[in-house]
Amino acid sequence: MISEADARAKILGAAKPLPARKMSILEALGHFAAEDYFARLALPMFDNSAMDGYAVISSGCDRGKRLRVVGEQPAGVDRKLSVSKGEAIRIFTGAPLPKGADAIVIQEDVMREGDEILLNTDVDVGEFIRRRGCDLGEGQKIVNRGEKIRGTTQGLLASQGLADVNVGGQVRAAVISTGDELAEAGERLQPGQIYDSNSVLLQSLLKHCGATVAMSAHCADNARALEREFQAAAKNQILFVTGGVSVGEHDLVRATLRDLGAKIDIWRVAIKPGKPFLFGGLGSCFVFGLTGNPVSAFVTFLQFVRPAILKMMGARVVDLKKLPARLTTDQRNESERAHYIRGKFEHGDFTPIGRQESHALFGLSQANALLRLEVGGSRKQGEMIEVELF
Ligand code: AMP
Ligand code: MG
């Protein structure tokens, strides 16, 4: 059995970023930028009006003053107009500011009378003008390498006239659930059988971190069948096996992998739940073996697999988000492994939830955070702790 830290280091050491590729900005949501991006264009690109109204020279523009309207400046063209004292230019939101103008009077604050306007307000210099570069300067960094591309990132890249973005490589994964007891949704359960929930849970976790599920299969506890599925799955970058990695007579995963020439780097980690965890390689494919107990599979996925996938996809941050929380009940870890307690983080409080056992899927489904308690660790009710959100 190895420590959690050693297991993590080994896995993250083996997982290398995949080659980057170009992709249309529209498709890049959730991927990770493979390079730094800098502004080619300032935002705004030119001084322009923030409102529909009149461009004026502010000095002397007091309430009650009349100005002659000498032109019109719409958005989308630059008519190269200029304004002098006593004059105004009709202007619209986003239109380039006429030469000489230093304020916009919004149309709600004037009375239009023929080709004149009457000001119903005093005018301050700079009012309703958006200055070139006030939001973003040319050359300023807009996206960091390894940053997750969000909708707002896509919008920002689009504002620079970019159609494509360089992102990290795609992880293709295969999920194989094993166990004679497993039935698929829609099948009639025989006595002693259960429905396969891990396959769905894992596929969802994989998709949530941006990986593609290229294959999913169910396999009985049968060495020949496992061999066949493992060989097919090894064409992908990652193979997940759930169930059958423990020590019982029906746990054939390790032996079958060995027979296929797989290298097994890790088997059993000091983590609770999730001890019978396996990591190795079959050809160029990483193999993760997770126990069949759903909560164990979930916790080991978050702690060991997710960081590896994110690293392969070029992410800069691979850990779960950590937040301070106030513990609502005493907690103590009397086991010999670091314990991940599932609970609910809400309004700054963390409350352990459900049965803290590795099969307790309902409790897990009500939780949204993990509290890690080291061996021998104890925390008191009301104490400030740090939780990991999922
Ligand atoms: P194993 O890791 O094969 O020893 O299985 C541990 C526990 O997890 C047993 O109670 C199994 O019935 C259960 N289990 C195994 N695979 C799955 C699965 N795909 N979905 C839900 N439970 C499972
Ligand atoms: Mg089994």
What string of pLDDT tens digits covers the 390 residues of the chain?
Answer: 999 999 999 999 999 999 999 999 999 999 999 999 999 999 999 999 999 999 999 999 999 999 999 999 999 999 999 999 999 999 999 999 999 999 999 999 999 999 999 999 999 999 999 999 999 999 999 999 999 999 999 999 999 999 999 999 999 999 999 999 999 999 999 999 999 999 999 999 999 999 999 999 999 999 999 999 999 999 999 999 999 999 999 999 999 999 999 999 999 999 999 999 999 999 999 999 999 999 999 999 999 999 999 999 999 999 999 999 999 999 999 999 999 999 999 999 999 999 999 999 999 999 999 999 999 999 999 999 999 999
Which residue, judged by its Cα, is nearest atom 5 of ligand 1?
292
Rounded distance between C-alpha atoms, residue 94 and residue 384, angstroms? 49
Strands 263-267 and 278-282: antiparallel
Rounded distance between C-alpha atoms, residue 67 and residue 100, angstroms? 15
- Using alpha carbons, select from 17, 269, 290 the residue that is nearest to residue 167: 17
Residue 25 carries which DSSP code?
Answer: G
Distance 183 CA to ligand 2 centre (A): 13
H or E element: which one contains 223? helix 223-233
Q: Which of 291, 361, 364 to mutate to test the pocket of ligand 1 (most atoms within 8 A of CB)?
A: 291
Place of tokens 């109204």: 53
Which residue, judged by its Cα, is nearest atom 11 of ligand 1?
292
Kindly compute the dihedral angle of the four CA atoms of residues 318, 319, 323, 325, in this order, to the nearest 10 degrees: 160
Tokens read off for 107: 């149309």
pTM > 0.85: yes
Rounded to the nearest angstrom, the gap between the alpha carbon of residue 172 and the centroid of all alpha carbons in its chain is 18
Q: Which of 198, 288, 290 to mutate to test the pocket of ligand 1 (most atoms within 8 A of CB)?
A: 198
